[in-house]
A and B are shown apart, each in its own frame.
Chain A
Amino acid sequence: MTTGSSDLPEAAQRRLGEGAFSSGLSVNDFAACLQMGLEPVGLVQGFCAMQWGAYGVGLIQRGITPYGGSQGGYVENYQCPHGAMMGGEHRVWGQNYQQTWIESSWHEGFSSAYARMVEEASDLHADGVVGVLDTQSSLSEAGVIEFHLVGTAVTLKGAPVATTPPWTTYLAGQRLAKLFEAGFAPVAVIATVSSVRVWAYCVTEYLMGGAGGFMVNQNFAPQEVDQIVRAQSAARSIARKNVRDQLHGDSLHGADLSVMEREFEKGDLEVQTLLRGNRVRRFKAFEALPVPQPTVRLS
């Protein structure tokens, strides 16, 4: 399958050509959509199964040179402060580096699944896709993950047939209604991943192993594990920059950032950050909302 047009399976074409609409919306979200003048026309989805691995490069050089696995992007080197009188197991060099190939593969998987979902919505002449859910899950075979996006295609009641690609949003129901109320319209869902590999140098290994002492500082005081903190900070910063690059001057609404740390072996770990949200654009000036009504639930 490619990300080009008309690469949807025959079963998808047949399903989308049928009469009844299907919708993944809850009844509350369904009612809220109707209230906004959005009519569901079909559940739309996109998939992409990818071979997946961390595939560290330059592992042979790990710990002995400052020229590790970097292939462009963020890199930081850490040098042993103990001099040359240490044993062979001693990590003289450590490195934090951005795994650009992981980020681009993730982008490829997500974008392919996204393009297929939008293609299904376009086939239905939808104006937008609401309530998008995206998941990445491991498949039956080791080393394979599947990107899956699903949402409900909607048309705007009374509007002419859409000729532009549909907008998409993670929001549905009242949260979407509040967005419109605040004067913003959804443009697209945005998601990005940043990946930073950490090859610990001796000081980080001592600190992570709980064995600081005189090898780390002379007064035995607790201290920050600088290399890991900087990797975490870099991963977040790269993710934010990647999202900003996709916004093209619009705003991000409902940002959700999650961080995953994965250890391959002692002193070798990956910090992965997933940042997603709704790209939104202002279409009218903000009007003050009605005064809220104080309410006590009796249940």
Chain B
Amino acid sequence: MSDVTNDLPQATEHRLEELEKGLFTSDLSVNEFLLVKEAGFHPVGFVMGSSIYHTGIQTRKWSQSQELTKLTEAMYNARELAMTRMEEEAAELGADGVVGVRLDVNYYEWGKDAAEFIAVGTAVKAEDGVSRLNKKGKPFTSDLSGQDFWTLAQTGYQPQGLVMGTCVYHIAHRGIGQTLGTTGQNVELPNFTQALYEARELAMTRMQDEANELGASGIVGVRLEEKSHQWGSHTIEFLALGTAVTKGSEDVTLVKPVTIISLDN
């Protein structure tokens, strides 16, 4: 399989054909379903994309903090492949977007240094027939829940795409001299601070670059995740994820929230 279009498995084609006949599947809760409808969309199908990727190895210097570019690239490409395949499924269904996207990484015993990257979500289509495809002509993606999707619509913003940035970074070990030099003291370790700072900023910059490519005016719900996966404690992947949004042309007057007393227990 490659990242070109129409590389979906045969079983997928069959499932999507059934969905095109009118039946829809979704992982939305009933409340989410209601609010997605309220926002002017209806679900057209549960979509997913997957990629099993060999992440390989990259040598690192024991005493040097550095980005491991090959691993960064691998983690990035694998997620992109999974996302692209999910978008392809959504496009096949004629969807305008995908909401509630979840991006996971699974490791299996049978695949040393290989990981499965999965993207799943619910494809939705605008009920007014007006296309909501993003600047790249693809269905928008977002990790927003149905409730968040509705709330965002009330603010006059529209989701453009789930954007991400990743950076795999090796944090240098301290030498014996450095360790002995600070024995018995609680002091800042500037090299550690600098390395972690740099790594997170690189991940966030890449996420923002993706948003800029989509012509977004901002990113909401940014999450910063850190995982060592299977590389040992000094090698960390920093992943920044969020939903890129653009402001609609119409001015929106936001409703002032009403004070309530809940009569529930």
Interface residues of A (CB under 8 A from B): 1, 8-9, 11-12, 14-15, 18-28, 30-32, 34-35, 40, 43, 45, 47-53, 55, 101-102, 105-106, 108-109, 112, 116, 139-141, 144, 146, 150, 174, 177, 289-297, 299
Contacts and interface: CB of A to CB of B under 8 A. Distances in A.
B198 A11 contact: yes
B148 A146 contact: no
Interface SS of B by simple majority: mixed
B193 interface: yes
B188 A49 contact: yes
B202 A108 contact: no
B259 A11 contact: no
B207 A22 contact: yes
Interface in B152-188: 152, 154-155, 171, 173-174, 182, 184-188
A22 B242 contact: yes
B151 A31 contact: yes
Interface of B: 31, 144, 147-149, 151-152, 154-155, 171, 173-174, 182, 184-190, 192-194, 196-198, 200-202, 204-205, 207-209, 211-212, 216-224, 228, 233-234, 236, 242, 244, 254-264
B222 A55 contact: no
B187 A23 contact: no
A2 B220 CA distance: 31
Contacts of A141: 173-174, 233-234
A51 B189 contact: yes
A22 B262 contact: no
Contacts of A21: 217-219
Contacts of A35: 254-257
A146 B238 CA distance: 15
Contacts of B260: 292-295
A30 B147 CA distance: 13
8 contacts: A23-B218, A24-B223, A30-B155, A34-B155, A47-B196, A48-B193, A102-B186, A294-B260
A20 B208 contact: yes
A15 B192 contact: no
A50 B186 contact: yes
Contact of B204 (A43, A47, A293): A43
Nearest to B190: A1
Given A49-B196, A295-B261, 12 more contacts: A12-B201, A15-B204, A23-B242, A24-B222, A26-B221, A31-B151, A31-B254, A49-B193, A51-B182, A109-B188, A144-B192, A297-B262
Top-5 shortest CB links A-B: A105-B186, A11-B201, A49-B192, A27-B148, A140-B233
Contacts of A23: 218-222, 242
A55 B257 CA distance: 52
A34 B67 CA distance: 37
A27 B186 contact: no
B196 A28 contact: no
Nearest to B262: A295
A18 B165 CA distance: 15
A102 B264 CA distance: 46
Among A49, A150, A295, residue most surrounded by chain B Cβ atoms (within 10 Å): A49
A20 B244 contact: yes
Contact of A295 (B148, B154, B205, B263): B263
Contacts of B171: 139-140
Nearest to A104: B186
A287 B173 CA distance: 57
Given A20-B208, A20-B211, A47 B218 contact: no
A225 to B, nearest CB: 29
A297 B263 CA distance: 8
Contacts of B219: 20-23
Contacts of B212: 18-20
Given A22-B207, A34-B254, A150-B224, A292 B194 contact: no
Among A48, A146, A293, A296, residue most surrounded by chain B Cβ atoms (within 10 Å): A48
Contact of A108 (B188, B193, B254): B188
Nearest to B204: A15
Contacts of B211: 20, 22
A26 B257 contact: no
Contacts of B204: 15, 22, 43
Nearest to B244: A20
B242 A101 contact: no
Contacts of A295: 260-263
Contacts of B234: 140-141
A144 B186 CA distance: 9
A154 B235 CA distance: 33
A27 B188 contact: no
B185 to A, nearest CB: 7
Contacts of A290: 258-259
Contacts of B207: 22
A294 B263 contact: yes
A15 B208 contact: yes
